[in-house]
Amino acid sequence: MDVADITDEEAIAMWDCLIDEMRTSWGRSGNPSALSFDSWRSFSSSPYPSATHGSRYVMNYANDTGSGGYGTYEDVGIMPEGSILAKPSFTVDGNGHAVAGPLFLMEKMQSGFFSEANDWKYTMIMPDGRIAGTSKGKGSANVEFCAACHMATPDTDHLFFLPDEYRK
């Protein structure tokens, strides 16, 4: 599936139209980050296409603990415990209508939590607020692909960064 081809201005308008609904829906999960991520520092100037996140448009946010390190991008080093990165998403259907997608979360846990993934916990919250999976928890098989993909970037603490043209 390809990412729909829309302009940055159209992506921003769709984001603005969906954000309240998405935050409320994801908030039904009971995950505190689902209700607060959009008050964190944003690192993307507009939603941008991400084929690795299911051909969705995404934004990048980091909580206070993670924002300093994440903002150094490729020179990040090791993110501190308690860092949380949020990647909210939406899709655009064949008629040009925006539809909420999952909220992807990465949380840096204490040393030894998930050594193979450099102690990152991955969580995916579906548009209806259902938690599809979380590392080392319920539905963990549903987020194994997150850890597997991120393991390709050991030099940047298993992080990928948004394209240069979308960085704030």
Q: What is the pLDDT along the chain (168 residues), one digit of tens a residue?
A: 566 689 999 999 999 999 999 999 999 999 999 999 999 999 999 999 998 898 899 999 999 999 999 999 999 999 999 999 999 999 998 888 999 999 999 999 999 999 999 999 999 999 999 999 999 999 999 999 999 999 999 999 999 999 999 999
Burial of 10 (0-12, 13-18, 19+ CB in 10 A): middle
First to last CA, the chain: 28
pTM above 0.75, yes or no: yes
Q: How far apart are CA 39 and CA 1, in angstroms?
A: 31
A 10 A CB-CB count for 58 gives: 25
At the top level of CATH, the class of 8-160 is alpha beta
Residue 75: partners with Cβ closer than 8 Å, 6 or more residues away? none
* Residue 23, CA atoms < 13 Å, CB-side half-sphere: 12
Domain residue limits, the chain:
8-160
How many residues appear in the chain? 168
Residue 120: partners with Cβ closer than 8 Å, 6 or more residues away? 106, 107, 108, 109, 114, 135, 147, 150, 158
